[in-house]
Amino acid sequence: MKAFPELSKVDQDELVERLQQWCLANGLVMYPPNFAKFSVSCAPVTLFPTPLAREAFQAAVDVQKGFNELYANIVSQGKAFLTDILRDLSLFDRDFTGKLFETYQKALALNDGNVKQPLTLGLFRSDYMVDEKDSETSIKQIEFNTVSVSFGGLSPKVGELHNYLNNCGAYDGNYSMPYYDPDSIPISDSSEKLAKGLALADYYYDSQKDQPSTVILFVVQEEERNCFDQRHIEYLLLKEHGVKSFRLSLDEIVSDTTVNSEKLYIKKTMDEVSVVYFRSGYSPSDYAKNSDRCWQARLLLENSLAIKCPSLLTQLSGAKKTQQVLTKREVTKKFLPTISSGDFEKLMSTFVAMYPLDNSPDGKKAKKFAFEQPEKYVLKPQREGGGNNIYKKDIPEFLLKLDEKDWSAYVLMELIEPAVHANKVIRSDDVYTEDIVSELGIFGTVLFDEDEGTIMSNETAGWLLRSKFSSSNEGGVAAGFGCVDSIYLY
């Protein structure tokens, strides 16, 4: 493995300027807080690609199709299993998981117990860290995301940026030669592959309905600072697949769309919507303004013929509780009946210990762990989007403030201990030289029939590396803790 380049102050300043201007010229950007629409900032990125062992990277890529299939099968074949989990979670989290589950049930009730559109699109992302505990190196899953996965649009740009900086000689102050072997900084194809996943769902919808020209509806957050990540996918949809897109917030759905003969239309243009792509709706804050109207929107979309990416049940299958239950071999095996034993072992090897905090034998054991060795664990509630977990020594104090019966709303997860690297992070005009740790996300796309269990398409769809200062527990890029990165494979 090569060490990071060492540059003089003058050379580093020049490198940073090249980096910033490349980001602005190529759309590796985000809006800053309190933005005006005409003005962006460079996305926070690392100065150099971060080393990642080739085998670890390949191991994560190799299990992606298995995970896509696992979650598709849980949704199509494990309805009773999921419903049991979700009924429990809903009791503890009435206002959010409860509302999502209730909306799913309402949609079924309005349609004789069936989902209106059985085809569902999953654009998933499985997140890992390379665990270096016990001097073993292996990828371990942080979480499996089934809704609104982000950075698939920006990730390829970071690989391109680092390739540019390498190839133009900026990483080598003395001789202006490529510092890294150019083949060792791969470029993710996630934006193309995610666009292709959406286009395929559009194609299936059209063939189902004999409808040659339909559009994709991006359901987005108002004032989204990471909208360029989404725009890159939108542009590819139009350029590569000839599919137009519209963007609406949850709050605008009821007024700006209409359902006619169960089909969903954009009211203004009367374009028929083939796919509803949620980049919002995964967190309670997405429903905070005009809450009733937002929930009504969710029901309206679920009960239209448009293919949802994802359907409510697919979104709900991504509960951290599901991930915990899947760490039991017999459960995962049941939902992957045709998997080879080699592939099954590879997939299972990505799990760290996860426990319920209930009165089951495992739960009782976990309650002891939480108080006796909290420094080995993270406590996770049923929430997405960062900033919700409780770490290490904060766990006992946190639990003691709750009624013990409410502990079941959480899962206790063994902490992964990743390698630290002395990369540099560029945020605005500041260069931070601090140890970072990285999280590898592998994207996957899967189009499946929620009723029949048929899988029409299952693909691995590129990757993402995000890094954060090792001193911070969490690494939200938009939240200001982290940055996007690329991989130096060794």
Identify whether 385 is a catalytic site residue: yes
State the nearest-atom distance from the C-beta of 406 to Mg ion, in Å: 23
Count the site residues for Mg ion by CB under 5 A: 1
3-state SS class at 208: helix
Q: Considering beta carbons, is residue 143 or 256 the nearer one to Mg ion?
A: 143
Torsion of CA 344, 349, 352, 355, to 10 degrees: 30
Q: Considering beta carbons, is residue 45 or 305 the nearer one to ligand ADP?
A: 45
Identify whether 247 is a catalytic site residue: no
378 binds, among Mg ion, ligand ADP, none (CB under 5 to 8 A by kind): ligand ADP
How far apart are alpha carbons 178 and 170 in whole angstroms?
A: 8
Q: Considering beta carbons, is residue 143 or 206 the nearer one to Mg ion?
A: 143
And the tokens for 172? 């080598």
**β-pair type (271-278, 307-309):** parallel
Catalytic pick among 148, 150, 245, 274: 150
Structural contact between residues 294 and 250, judged by C-beta atoms closer than 8 angstroms: yes
Binding mask 97-136 for Mg ion (x = CB under 5 A): ----------------------------------------
State the nearest-atom distance from the C-beta of 433 to Mg ion, in Å: 26
Q: Considering beta carbons, is residue 132 or 143 the nearer one to Mg ion?
A: 143
State the nearest-atom distance from the C-beta of 34 to Mg ion, in Å: 25
Q: Considering beta carbons, is residue 243 or 413 the nearer one to ligand ADP?
A: 413
State the nearest-atom distance from the C-beta of 283 to ligand ADP, in Å: 9
Catalytic pick among 73, 90, 145, 184: 145
Structural contact between residues 276 and 247, judged by C-beta atoms closer than 8 angstroms: no
Structural contact between residues 180 and 166, judged by C-beta atoms closer than 8 angstroms: yes
Identify whether 320 is a catalytic site residue: yes
The Cα angle at residue 455 between residues 453 and 458, in degrees rounded to 5: 145
Give the position of tokens 């996943």: 197
Catalytic pick among 99, 196, 367, 380: 380
Identify whether 384 is a catalytic site residue: yes
3-state SS class at 207: helix
State the nearest-atom distance from the C-beta of 473 to ligand ADP, in Å: 6
State the nearest-atom distance from the C-beta of 415 to ligand ADP, in Å: 4
* Nearest by Cα to 199 from 123, 146, 311, 298: 123
Q: Considering beta carbons, is residue 5 or 475 the nearer one to ligand ADP?
A: 475
How far apart are alpha carbons 18 and 10 in whole angstroms?
A: 13
And the tokens for 113? 């117990």
> Contact positions toward ligand ADP, by CB under 6 A?
127, 142-143, 352, 378, 380, 384-386, 388-389, 413, 415-416, 439, 474-475
Binding mask 140-159 for Mg ion (x = CB under 5 A): ---x----------------
And the tokens for 127? 């997140």
Identify whether 321 is a catalytic site residue: no
Q: Report DSSP letters for 303-372, one per residue.
A: TSSSEEET-HHHHHHT-HHHHHHHTSHHHHHHH-TT--HHHHHHHHTTPPPEEE-SSSHHHHHHHHHHHH
State the nearest-atom distance from the C-beta of 356 to ligand ADP, in Å: 15
Cβ neighbours, 10 Å, residue 360: 12
* Nearest by Cα to 163 from 487, 406, 490, 461: 487
Give the position of tokens 């080739």: 54
Task: For residue 212, count CB atoms less than 10 angstroms from its CB and return exposed for 0-12, middle for 13-18, buried for 19 or more.
Answer: exposed
Give the position of tokens 């206002």: 95
151 torsion bin: left (phi>0), alpha (psi -120 to 50), beta (else): left
* Nearest by Cα to 442 from 153, 124, 50, 74: 124
State the nearest-atom distance from the C-beta of 27 to Mg ion, in Å: 24
Identify whether 145 is a catalytic site residue: yes
Give the position of tokens 């406590």: 379
* Nearest by Cα to 46 from 189, 185, 226: 185
* Nearest by Cα to 392 from 408, 406, 373, 409: 373
Q: Considering beta carbons, is residue 233 or 416 the nearer one to ligand ADP?
A: 416
313 binds, among Mg ion, ligand ADP, none (CB under 5 to 8 A by kind): none
Identify whether 54 is a catalytic site residue: no
State the nearest-atom distance from the C-beta of 286 to Mg ion, in Å: 16
Catalytic pick among 224, 234, 272, 384: 384
The Cα angle at residue 380 between residues 68 and 375, in degrees rounded to 5: 120
415 binds, among ligand ADP, Mg ion, none (CB under 5 to 8 A by kind): ligand ADP
* Nearest by Cα to 432 from 441, 442, 417, 422: 422
Identify whether 150 is a catalytic site residue: yes
User: Where in the sequence numbering do the catalytic residues fall?
Assistant: 125, 143, 145, 150, 320, 380, 384-385, 466
- Residues lying near Mg ion in the complex (CB under 5 A) are found at 143
